[in-house]
Structure 1
Amino acid sequence: MPVAASAVYFLNLRGDVLINRLYRDDVGGNMVDAFRMHIMQTKELGTCPVRQIGGCSFFYMRISNVYIVIVVSSNANVACAFKFVVEAVALFKSYFGGSFDEDAIRNNFVLIYELLDEIMDFGYPQNLSPEILKLYITQEGVRSPFSSKQPLDKPVPNATLQVTGAVGWRREGLVYKKNEVFLDIVESVNLLMSSKGSVLRCDVTGKVLMKCFLSGMPDLKLGLNDKIGLEKESQLKSRPTKSGKTIELDDVTFHQCVNLTRFNSEKTVSFVPPDGEFELMKYRITEGVNLPFRVLPTIKELGRTRMEVNVKVKSVYGAKMFALGVVIKIPVPKQTAKASFQVTSGRAKYNPSIDSLVWKIKKFPGQTESTLSAEVELISTIAEKKSWTRPPIQMEFQVPMFTASGLRVRFLKVWEKSGYNTVEWVRYITKAGSYEIRC
């Protein structure tokens, strides 16, 4: 359900109304007094950004020294309300030279009222794109004297097409000497493994990042080795694809440029890209995750003053690949005095600030293993020893040209009416999210 806002208020830290806009007549003009009385004066700001007072809901967010309050008289989508606030602040900053505070609001009353009329209609959010709104709201905001950002002057022709057309995220007339597309698949693998080696929790969160330097209005089509890129499910069973196994993506979200109608009918990701950098899609995978590392820890407590730590790390990815910046943090008790190490690669040391043995390996080739052996000396205490609850071992790493989900680009096609040639660059990288092994 959309926001359906009844009113929007801008307040300073004292609770004074700087500017407000009523979109519906289902709330009284004194609703902000209830907000001040029940929230600001009772110092409950920050406890919860959503409050119910009487028959109305208040969504509020602090930006710099300004509170933005949305009043809703009926049930509404809270996430949509806060998304509207974030986008509106970004819009105001683009007009005010990068600043948004009480002074910027006081210096731009007329412009803010005009923008509020455009970005919300009868309480429903409308277009909040600065590139489009600046095509027909050409008034310049009064810039703060403390802002170091310079305004960008980009005159754009054909405002009617930009405002009413379906391609509001890209302007016409772009020309590049060299037409290039950079596509990055960035994944974070999350793991929780038991001390016996069984996987308790495992998933991958990924995103497809693009950087486009293309002339004109190109139409791109992206094919992946997942089920959303297949032609038909029956064809998958009768004829395997050339790109190997297929995977199933969960919780897929697309950038607004993706043609969802074509995606639903043809199962292809087709889009007219924005200019420059943008996030094409996000996804999550819970099945068939390829773990880049296997960690086998053995920790023995020898009495009250000694411990033996042995950790073996195996890289499971291809032999031609390698990981960078590998860090293994092995927890030890707080009463640790010192530790001596033997490692087959990298360097290790005891870090008392985090109560861990930190093992760092700059470059970890694929299909290899490294081991760490450490003798830990503990401080003997007179007090009764409490049982040490062993925190999990944590890992950090980056593996270029590897995806834990197995996602691969099958094709990336670029079509533009002028028929120019393009250069496509595709990269993969897998990073550690919450990668933990119990010991």
Structure 2
Amino acid sequence: MPVSASAIYFLNLRGDVLINRLYRDDVGGNMVDAFRMHIMQSKELGTCPVRQIGGCSFLYMRISNVYIVIVVSSNANVACAFKFVVEAVTLFKSYFGGAFDEDAIRNNFVLIYELLDEIMDFGYPQNLSPEILKLYITQEGVRSSFSSKHVDRPVPNATLQVTGAVGWRREGLVYKKNEVFLDIVESVNLLMSSKGSVLRCDVTGKVLMKCFLSGMPDLKLGLNDKIGLEKESQLKSRPTKSGKTIELDDVTFHQCVNLTRFNSEKTVSFVPPDGEFELMKYRITEGVNLPFRVLPTIKELGRTRMEVNVKSVFGAKMFALGVVIKIPVPKQTAKTNFQVTSGKAKYNPAIDCLVWKSSICTTWCRIRKFPGQTESTLSAEVELISTITEKKSLTRPPIQMEFQVPMFTASGLRVRFLKVWEKSGYNTVEWVRYITKAGSYEIRC
């Protein structure tokens, strides 16, 4: 369902109207008075961004020191309305040099009215792409940082971009060196018991691209996902030799991806935007290859002593960077003594509730570069302050890990091919990089 907005208002924090645009005649001119009286003067301002007053709905959002209010007289898609506001603010910032506040609005009345006429027609959102709008709305904002080469393009090119199928890429791009950078970035989320059994595990990943290609190239990306390889095997009538296959869940694509081709050929075909963008996102819940396994052993030796032993096993053949192991200890920790086989360990009193700000004390083990196929152990003796209260079993938050493993994917996702076609037939250089990092990586102790 579209937004079908009747009016849009820009107000400052006092409730003064900076600029407004009426798209329909089904609302009265006193809508802003109703907003001031029933919403801005209410103590509930900001608790709910959607308010019903009479027969109209007010959808408002605060950006910097400006309230953007959309008035709707019918049942509308609220999520679409807020998405429109976010995209509109991004558009305004691109014209104003990155600023959007009361002063920017006062200095750019004419430009804002022109943009409001283009991005919404009779209350329905239209094209909000800054790259396309700059092709034919050539007026610069007062604080615009864009050079003239971005705005002095002829109107015919803009017409092709607006009416054509490729609205996210402008024509006429030329690069001396045509390159494509592809990054597969994955985050591993894990909850493991103290005995080493996996309670919950999944991988969330995204494919990031940075394209510096001339003309209007057509790219085709092949992955070792199960559906794609099955389709290719059917087409070639022979089994594939691409190794491990994986099954992707919850896949979402950038708007440039040709979904018709994906449904028929099971390959990701697209005409890329210029520069950096996110091609796709996915999630995997089965067959996750965990880079680290942590086995903790914590013993309470009376009321004033604890013994902590943690073994970290890194099974990958690569190396890990930025490894941080956090082992929570009781609040009444007084003294610690460490022995580690690699890296450095220390007790950080900065987060001791008795000395510093936080109420949780933590032991940190930092390892700058962790080689593969190795084990690292930490042993610590923790002395506690004796209390007069009755001894209770200590609450043990889970151990947390941070790490980055380059050229490794926990899901096993790999790029099988990346092909570039362009009518001029130029040569391209493709770069592929993998990285796996910790998301919510927790081990119970």
Same structural fold, with TM-score higher than 0.5 when normalized by the shorter chain: yes
Once the two structures are superposed, residues 252-286 of structure 1 have per-residue CA deviations (whole angstroms, 9 ceiling, x without a partner) of 22111111222222222111111111111111222
For 1:233 and 1:319, how far apart are their aligned partners in 2? 30
Determine if contact 2:350/2:356 at 8 Å carries over to the other structure.
no
SS of 1:316's partner is strand
Report which stretch shifted further, 159-168 or 348-357: 348-357
SS of 1:160's partner is helix
For 2:217 and 2:280, how far apart are their aligned partners in 1? 18
Cα 1:178–1:203 change in 2 (3 A) is: same
Cα 1:199–1:16 change in 2 (3 A) is: same
SS of 2:148's partner is coil
For 1:238 and 1:353, how far apart are their aligned partners in 2? 64
Determine if contact 1:331/1:391 at 8 Å carries over to the other structure.
yes
Deviation, 1:20, is 1.4
Cα 1:318–1:338 change in 2 (3 A) is: closer
Cα 1:137–1:46 change in 2 (3 A) is: same
Cα 1:318–1:344 change in 2 (3 A) is: closer
Determine if contact 2:296/2:311 at 8 Å carries over to the other structure.
no
Cα 1:234–1:183 change in 2 (3 A) is: closer
SS of 2:131's partner is helix
For 1:374 and 1:309, how far apart are their aligned partners in 2? 5
For 2:419 and 2:354, how far apart are their aligned partners in 1? 49
Report which stretch shifted further, 29-38 or 322-331: 29-38
Report which stretch shifted further, 347-356 or 227-236: 227-236
Determine if contact 2:94/2:144 at 8 Å carries over to the other structure.
no
Unaligned residue ranges in structure 1 (runs of 5+): none
Determine if contact 2:404/2:438 at 8 Å carries over to the other structure.
yes
* Alignment-derived partner of residue 339 in structure 1: 336
For 1:352 and 1:108, how far apart are their aligned partners in 2? 52
For 2:354 and 2:314, how far apart are their aligned partners in 1? 25
Q: Percent identity?
A: 96
Cα 1:350–1:34 change in 2 (3 A) is: same
SS of 2:135's partner is helix
**Matched residues, number:** 435
SS of 1:353's partner is helix
SS of 1:421's partner is coil
Once the two structures are superposed, residues 186-225 of structure 1 have per-residue CA deviations (whole angstroms, 9 ceiling, x without a partner) of 0111111222333222211111111111111110000111
Cα 1:427–1:69 change in 2 (3 A) is: same
Determine if contact 2:135/2:153 at 8 Å carries over to the other structure.
no
SS of 1:90's partner is helix
Determine if contact 1:157/1:172 at 8 Å carries over to the other structure.
no
SS of 2:187's partner is strand
Cα 1:319–1:333 change in 2 (3 A) is: closer
Determine if contact 1:330/1:358 at 8 Å carries over to the other structure.
no
For 2:3 and 2:112, how far apart are their aligned partners in 1? 20
Once the two structures are superposed, residues 229-263 of structure 1 have per-residue CA deviations (whole angstroms, 9 ceiling, x without a partner) of 33528839985432222222222221111112222
Deviation, 1:358, is 17
Report which stretch shifted further, 198-207 or 216-225: 198-207
Report which stretch shifted further, 336-345 or 318-327: 318-327
Determine if contact 1:306/1:376 at 8 Å carries over to the other structure.
yes
TM-score of the superposition, structure 2-length normalised? Answer: 0.90
For 1:74 and 1:288, how far apart are their aligned partners in 2? 48
Deviation, 1:67, is 0.6
Cα 1:145–1:424 change in 2 (3 A) is: closer
Determine if contact 1:222/1:268 at 8 Å carries over to the other structure.
yes
For 1:120 and 1:190, how far apart are their aligned partners in 2? 41
Deviation, 1:318, is 6.1
Q: How much is the aligned-residue C-alpha RMSD, in angstroms? A: 3.4
Unaligned residue ranges in structure 2 (runs of 5+): 358-366
Report which stretch shifted further, 52-61 or 207-216: 52-61
Deviation, 1:134, is 1.6
Report which stretch shifted further, 108-117 or 360-369: 360-369
377, 380, 391: which is aligned to 2:397? 391
Determine if contact 1:315/1:366 at 8 Å carries over to the other structure.
no
Cα 1:386–1:231 change in 2 (3 A) is: closer
TM-score of the superposition, structure 1-length normalised? Answer: 0.91
Deviation, 1:46, is 2.5
For 2:148 and 2:171, how far apart are their aligned partners in 1? 29
Determine if contact 1:221/1:414 at 8 Å carries over to the other structure.
yes
Determine if contact 1:258/1:270 at 8 Å carries over to the other structure.
yes
Deviation, 1:52, is 3.0
For 2:85 and 2:373, how far apart are their aligned partners in 1? 49
For 1:256 and 1:365, how far apart are their aligned partners in 2? 40
1:420-439 aligned within 5 A: 420-439=426-445
Once the two structures are superposed, residues 69-89 of structure 1 have per-residue CA deviations (whole angstroms, 9 ceiling, x without a partner) of 122233333332222111111
SS of 2:74's partner is coil
SS of 1:28's partner is coil
For 1:356 and 1:263, how far apart are their aligned partners in 2? 55
Report which stretch shifted further, 194-203 or 276-285: 194-203
Cα 1:357–1:12 change in 2 (3 A) is: closer
Cα 1:318–1:428 change in 2 (3 A) is: farther
